[in-house]
């Protein structure tokens, strides 16, 4: 944990507070830090943008990637006002962020009807047991594209 961790978390919490004050979204904020400096911040914009993926962490990741001109946030930390939901946690891993600091827990969020526990349970189920049906089809056609990618010499690994 960096020596400025409390300052960064307070900024994430401030973004969440400002977001509800301005009625621009839910009570969630996040900042991304690199080399001891905040490089981006985000707040929940789900209702403002009519975008269910516009969570604070996702907004902060998008802004950081744009600023750094990279899809990789290696060397970065994220401070978020609440424990990340499964979508945000996945995005944090995909972005290669190295540390996650959070304030409120997912149990705290569930008390406000932001219940991520359902998603955590769904992820562990086999496809045929999930609430939303998942049906695999046309794999023979799609696998050809994967094979093309596998042999592509100039691909950018991510």
Residues acting as catalytic residues: 57
β-strand partners of 43:
29
For β-strands 99-104 and 76-82, DSSP reports them as: parallel
- Cβ atoms of 118 and 88 closer than 8 Å: no
Sequence-distant (6+) residues with CB within 8 A of 59 are 30, 42, 43, 44, 45
């Amino acid at each position: 944990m960096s020596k400025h961790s409390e300052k960064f978390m307070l900024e994430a919490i401030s973004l969440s507070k400002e977001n509800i004050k301005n009625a621009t979204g839910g009570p969630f904020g996040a900042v991304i830090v690199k080399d001891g400096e905040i490089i981006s911040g985000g707040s929940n914009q789900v209702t403002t943008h009519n975008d269910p993926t516009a969570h604070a962490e996702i907004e902060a990741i998008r802004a950081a990637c744009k600023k750094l001109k990279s899809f990789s946030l290696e060397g970065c930390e994220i401070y978020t006002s609440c424990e990340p939901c499964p979508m945000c946690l996945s995005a944090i891993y995909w972005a290669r962020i190295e540390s996650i600091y959070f304030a409120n827990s997912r149990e705290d969020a569930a008390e406000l009807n932001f219940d991520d526990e359902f998603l955590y349970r769904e992820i562990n189920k086999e496809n045929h047991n999930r609430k939303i049906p998942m049906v695999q089809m046309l794999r023979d056609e799609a696998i050809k594209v994967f094979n093309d990618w596998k042999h592509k010499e100039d691909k950018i690994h991510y």
